[in-house]
């Protein structure tokens, strides 16, 4: 199947409330345009420089999501245009996003990344750190960021029950956060290998790359 066929195929099986972020890291502008020409506008990248380079040359009605780990010194490059930052995992980073968003006279929507997998290498907050952060007084002074939800990645494993348990746990944190804060409406979980389970467990935003664009090198 071609890129447009695969994209439309996946989209047609997603429940209406689930948004698809088409993950285009390492993929060319031509491949992205094939997806764009189906009417899709929501794309995700995991490196700031790569996203900026693509933003510069591709149509300006694309909504770019930063799904990777963000270094504070890179925030300024995407602040003019990024539409959602998924990988926020510290107050320090939120402060930098707030500062750069203020310069651009905009409010940048963010998700807090939660560490739900057992792998040590994955970024993100623990449950305890999450609720500590959202209880921090300083957060209320940041007028140019808006926390809209949570993001997480399950363990890379064939054990589907384990993946399900991790997503269930993240969904529970999401519901708890909704009771504490207004405007919590996005639960970003699920990739090519596990998005069906993620949706069953309450995801409303999936990030899919290889199932649309093929394997990356
Ligand atoms: C690469 C990536 C994805 C997409 O992964 P696929 O397995 O290709 O669908 C999703 N989320 C994040 C954070 C990624 O870095």
Residue 99: exposure state from Cβ atoms within 10 A (0-12, 13-18, ≥19): middle
The model's pTM is 0.97
In degrees, rounded to 5, the angle at the alpha carbon of residue 118 between the alpha carbons of residues 114 and 123 is: 40
**For the chain, what is the mean pLDDT?**
96
- Are the CB atoms for 42 and 65 separated by under 8 Å? yes
Is 208 close to ligand 1, i.e. is its CB under 6 Å away?
yes
Task: For residue 84, give Cα distances in angstroms to 68, 132, 155, 161, 165.
Answer: 11, 22, 23, 30, 26
Is 207 close to ligand 1, i.e. is its CB under 6 Å away?
yes
Measured between alpha carbons, how far is 104 from 211 in angstroms, rounded to an integer?
35
CA of 23 to the centre of ligand 1 (A): 6
Is 67 close to ligand 1, i.e. is its CB under 6 Å away?
yes
CA of 136 to the centre of ligand 1 (A): 30
- Are the CB atoms for 80 and 92 separated by under 8 Å? no
% of the chain beyond a pLDDT of 90:
96
Closest C-alpha residue for ligand 1 atom 12: 67
Is 87 close to ligand 1, i.e. is its CB under 6 Å away?
no
pLDDT for the residue numbered 121: 62
Question: What does the block give as tokens for 122?
Answer: 């994955």
Among 72, 112, 109, 65, smallest CA distance to 88 is for 112
Measured between alpha carbons, how far is 54 from 63 in angstroms, rounded to an integer?
12
CA of 15 to the centre of ligand 1 (A): 20
Residue 190: exposure state from Cβ atoms within 10 A (0-12, 13-18, ≥19): buried
Strands 42-45 and 84-88: unpaired
Is 68 close to ligand 1, i.e. is its CB under 6 Å away?
yes
Measured between alpha carbons, how far is 108 from 84 in angstroms, rounded to an integer?
7
CA of 42 to the centre of ligand 1 (A): 14
124-173 pLDDT per residue, tens: 999 999 999 999 999 999 999 999 999 999 999 999 999 999 999 999 99
193-216 pLDDT per residue, tens: 999 999 999 999 999 999 999 998
């Amino acid at each position: 199947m071609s890129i447009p066929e695969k994209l439309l195929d996946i989209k047609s099986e997603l429940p209406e409330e689930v948004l698809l972020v088409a993950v285009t890291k390492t993929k060319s502008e031509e491949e992205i345009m094939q997806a764009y020409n189906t009417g899709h506008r929501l794309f995700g990248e995991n490196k700031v420089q790569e996203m900026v380079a693509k933003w510069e040359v591709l149509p300006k009605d694309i909504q770019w999501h930063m799904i990777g780990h963000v270094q504070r010194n890179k925030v300024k490059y995407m602040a003019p245009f990024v539409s959602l930052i998924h990988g926020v995992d510290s107050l320090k980073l939120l402060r930098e996003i707030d500062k750069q968003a203020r310069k651009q006279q905009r409010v940048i929507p963010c998700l807090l990344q939660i560490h739900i997998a057992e792998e040590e290498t994955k970024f993100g907050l623990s449950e305890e750190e999450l609720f500590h952060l959202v209880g921090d007084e300083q957060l209320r002074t940041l007028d140019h960021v808006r926390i809209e939800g949570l993001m997480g990645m399950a363990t890379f494993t064939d054990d589907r029950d384990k993946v399900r348990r991790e997503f269930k746990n993240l969904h529970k944190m999401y519901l708890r956060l909704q009771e504490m804060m207004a405007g919590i409406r996005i639960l970003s979980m699920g990739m090519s290998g596990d998005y069906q389970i993620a949706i069953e467990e309450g995801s409303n935003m999936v990030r899919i790359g290889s199932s649309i664009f093929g394997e990356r090198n």
